[in-house]
A and B are shown apart, each in its own frame.
Chain A
Amino acid sequence: MQVDGFVIVGAGEAGVAAAFEMRRSGFVGRITLLDGEAEAPYARPPLSKDVLAGQMPNPPAIVDTEAFLDARIDVRSGVRVAEIDPHRRLVVVREAAHPGVIRFERLLLATGSRARRLAGVEGHVLRNLNDSKRLAAALQEARSLVIIGAGVIGLEVASVATSLGVKTTVLEAAPQIMGRCLSAHLSRTIAELHQANGVEIRLGIRNLKARTDGETMSVETDQGLFQGSLALVAAGGEPNTGLAEAAGCEIEDGILVDQYGETSIPGIYAAGDVASILLPRYGTRVRLEAWQHARRHGASVARNMCGGREVYDEVPWFWTDQHGTNLQVAGLTRFADTEVVRHVSGGRVHFLFGGGALVAAATLNRPADMGPAIRLIEHGWAGPPELLANPRSNLRDIARAAPPVGVAA
């Protein structure tokens, strides 16, 4: 008799991290990792950077094939799950090449997110390896590019396209670029960086309509007509909640999970981009689309699937490289009411306080300052903002002196 094991749907960072963490947590049963894409699990950060620029033919594997073998993780690429039967505890695959059912004792949904498309707008999107390769090939031929959406992906593409000599225009509906993750001040700085490198940025765009005229993409807006030989829709991501919804899981933007990663159906969990999670440190529900979050949340939920009772409360963090500038952001900027800037050689650090405590920080060409900044956010550091802004203060000493997490000040 075969004992039912753990099944993971989705082999992005969250699914892969979860699979290995199950083994580290001592789970000896079967682990099946299913993914609809044909390729073995690969890293996505280079898709909007080196792969797109034609400097890296293929992204690295998330882990090497041997590691899956050594950990006895059964990876099945190119397998799309058709349905989940929560009562009989089955995952159903109807594809001609791999029909069948897989029984599970516990199930993890790490189905990620897809690029949002805009009605009536045809253009490239960028989410997976195929998208990246298609866009990379098109960029080699293109003379001009219109990007709809000034989020991280859109701006990374603007940076790569410009470096390839493609004239680039970015259209954004919001009044600032990267509005979800940057303060207005830092957003202006990044916009200036793009403008200095020849990117045209238009904010507050309304009534956008696009059409293809032969070789030209035309985008009509309230601010005029923008044309390019290519268009990219980079208007954010939508969680792949279809399977979960059909199975009866509660959905709230993403798949609703509790602090342990369990959905409204016992034994079914969700992690990464697709999960709507509660972050206790901010007291709010969020859905995060970021590499580090996917890994850490996947691993945390895996430990809970193996019997742990761990409340996930990581400080969200991401990096982006644009026009040779390294930008890193930790924490949630939207909880800030006060901002101070530390100007230091080579770059600067923005510290964002909310209700007197540090809630977010961003480093511009100062990666070394991110380590202490994250620890200060973890501690909910509530000292004087001027101390962090003062370039003569030692961030590392201040971070090390902060009381251990969980100890009341």
Chain B
Amino acid sequence: MTWFPLLDVAALENGEPRSVEMPGDIIALYQIGGEVFATSDICPHGNARLSEGWLSGHTIECPLHQALFDVRDGSLIDGPNCPGVRSYTVRVSNGVVELKMEL
């Protein structure tokens, strides 16, 4: 199992999404009450960055057309007809957010 280091967890503000690039995708990270979640940053509906959207509880709202996704599993809660957003498993190890690479 490979874990890819993304950034220091201290750089994440509670409730404020943050975008990080890694090979193959752009990742949106969400810190909610000390827990960290990750999805692709690209909305599967339009060409928008979810990290620019509004986070409310565990729900991220796409800034373009207000699709709502659950950041815990990427599922579509409401919005235009589109698939869920890809979600990633992350952990915090020695203060660093690491993303699990699916091989």
A residues apposed to B, CB below 8 Å: 43, 45, 60-64, 292, 295, 317, 319, 326, 367-368, 370-372, 374-375, 396, 400
Contact = CB atoms under 8 A, between A and B. Distances in A.
A367 B81 contact: no
Contact of B65 (A63, A64, A319): A319
Nearest to B63: A367
A170 to B, nearest CB: 25
Interface in B26-78: 48-49, 52-54, 61, 63-66, 78
B5 interface: no
A365 B78 CA distance: 24
Given A319-B65, A396-B16, A400-B15, A371 B53 contact: yes
B77 to A, nearest CB: 11
A292 B65 CA distance: 9
> Which 9 interchain pairs have the tightest Cβ spacing?
A371-B54, A368-B52, A367-B63, A60-B81, A368-B63, A367-B64, A63-B81, A371-B53, A61-B81
Nearest to A394: B16
B78 A295 contact: yes
A275 B53 CA distance: 30
Given A60-B81, A371-B54, A326 B66 contact: no
B82 to A, nearest CB: 8
A151 to B, nearest CB: 20
Contact of B54 (A62, A64, A372): A372
Contacts of B61: 371
Interface of B: 15-16, 48-49, 52-54, 61, 63-66, 78, 80-81
A318 to B, nearest CB: 10
A396 B64 CA distance: 17
A60 B80 contact: yes
Contacts of A62: 81
Nearest to A62: B81
Contacts of A371: 52-54, 61, 63
B52 A375 contact: no
Given A60-B81, A319-B64, A367 B54 contact: no
Contacts of A64: 81
Nearest to B79: A295
B62 to A, nearest CB: 9
B78 A367 contact: no
30 contacts: A43-B80, A43-B81, A45-B65, A45-B80, A60-B80, A60-B81, A61-B81, A62-B81, A64-B81, A292-B66, A295-B78, A317-B66, A319-B64, A326-B64, A367-B48, A367-B64, A368-B49, A368-B52, A368-B53, A368-B63, A370-B63, A371-B52, A371-B53, A371-B54, A371-B61, A371-B63, A372-B54, A374-B54, A375-B54, A400-B15
A143 B64 CA distance: 32
A346 to B, nearest CB: 11
A375 B52 CA distance: 15
Contacts of A43: 80-81
A368 B81 CA distance: 21
B2 to A, nearest CB: 32
Given A371-B53, A372-B54, A400-B15, 8 more contacts: A43-B81, A45-B65, A292-B66, A319-B65, A367-B52, A371-B52, A374-B54, A396-B16
